Amino acid sequence: MNFTISDEHAELQQRTRTFIAEHVIPMEGDERCTAHGPTDGLRDELVAKARKAGLLSSHVSAEFGGLGLSHIGKAIVFEESGYSPLGPVAMNIFAPDEGNMHMMEEICTPAQKERWLRPLAAGLTRSCFCMTEPPPGSGSDPTMLQTIAVRDGTDFVINGVKWLITGANGASFAIIMAKLEDGRATMFLSDMNAPGIKVERTMNALDSCFVGGHGVVSFTNLRVPEENILGELGEGFKYAQVRLSPARLTHCMRWLGAARRAHDTALRYAAQRQAFGKTLGQHEGVGFMLADNEMDLHVTRLAILHCAWVLDQGHLGTRESSAAKVISSEAIWRVIDRSAQILGGQGMTHETIVARIFADARSFRVYDGPNETHRWSLAKHAIKSIRH
């Protein structure tokens, strides 16, 4: 049992922290931060800075230009990155690209990697992950998939509609989950400019931290040749798990940084702002909120690190990542909510970054599987384990 951060990770932590402070936070007021996320133009500028700082796509292997970070390494670096809503964008480790790269490195053929992964990891392109569908399609229950892929010679012809597709607008390519005629789920790769793909619209959302926002994407007789199948035919759900467990955890890491930022902002305010004869922080009512923030941040970090370590041991970590996701998303939300409350009226406005983090973070309890689904899964595991 050892909680020491390695020298290498400590150096990277410090370097990331400095990078975020000096190069990213100053850009937060840039007017290219729109309601649908930072524009691609702003993103390119930020990516260039991270590239120069040697902090681009740090989770990808050296072969594709990254630092090949372990999960523990990611826990440390991604938290720092999340300290600004623009940090993960700059460092090319934001959703869905970060998870897509991870999965693609595990599953793609060499040719697929050269065509799609290399430029993605280099920060030259963006991608999207087309899984979620509008009712009555596939939401938290993936088996309700409606999008269909019908074989036609060596091609597959895909039809269907997806929504909540983060980053669709402006993406170079998509990973598409569809079911075959026999009902088995399969993932396909396709350039976004292929005939038959259309971003119907970008949805208005609470959050504004994802480049490209969240789109509705339709497939109308989209042809995908069989060399663009991602992995094996019919193994779509298995690969989704490959993607989801670590992707869920990297979400935790980034949001932890965001929550720490909110807390630091509130803490600084509470240390100075006077009310009723003393500083806010000297009021126990506020002090207790600050203490709860510190404990929630602490517990979240421990749960993330532990799960990262489990994944680093080569385990699938389904239970641990479910638990880490629920623990993190709820603790982080409490931290951000308290921080906004401490800031008072100002916390309800964009005078500080906290309101933006607040609007961004709400979805964390829903994305990557609603917490209800994870609780159910944890319960099933627990009951099964007691029976043995």
Give the one residue of 86, 222, 326, 353 binding a copy of itself; rule: CB under 8 A.
Answer: 326
Considering only residues 355-384, where is the footprint of a copy of itself by CB under 8 A?
Answer: 355, 358-359, 362-363, 365-367, 370-372, 374-376, 378-380, 382-383
Closest by Cα among 312, 322, 313 to 71: 312
Is residue 207 part of the contact set for a copy of itself (CB under 8 A)? Answer: yes
Q: Is 285 in the site for a copy of itself (CB under 8 A)?
A: yes
Angle, vertex CA 78, rays to CA 70 and CA 48, nearest 5? 105
Q: Sign (positive/negative) of CA torsion 1, 247, 92, 225?
A: positive
Q: Which is nearer to a copy of itself, 262 or 308 (CB)?
A: 308
156, containing H or E segment: strand 155-166
- Tell me the two tokens of residue 267: 């803490």
**Piece of the chain touching a copy of itself by CB under 8 A; list 83-91, 112-120, 220-228, 319-327:** 319-327
Cα–Cα dist 59/55, whole Å:
10
**CA-wise closest residue to 130 among 87, 79, 178:** 178
Asked if 33 is part of the footprint of a copy of itself (rule: CB under 8 A), the reply reads no
Q: Does 210 bind a copy of itself (CB under 8 A)?
A: no
Residues 6 or more apart from 342 whose CB is under 8 A from it?
266, 269, 270, 280, 286, 289, 290
- Give me 83's structure tokens: 């300290």
Q: Which stretch binds a copy of itself (CB under 8 A): 89-97, 105-113, 221-229, 261-269?
A: 261-269
Interacting residue with a copy of itself among 110, 136, 153, 314 (CB under 8 A): 136
CA atoms within 13 A on the CB side of 18: 9
Give the count of residues interacting with a copy of itself (CB under 8 A).
91
Q: Which of 51, 112, 203, 218 binds a copy of itself (CB under 8 A)?
A: 203
Where in 57-86 is the site for a copy of itself (CB under 8 A)?
A: 72
Residue closer to a copy of itself, measured from CB, 223 or 273: 273
In the region spanning residues 6 to 25, those forming contacts with a copy of itself, defined by CB under 8 A, are 6
CB of 353 to a copy of itself, least distance (A): 12
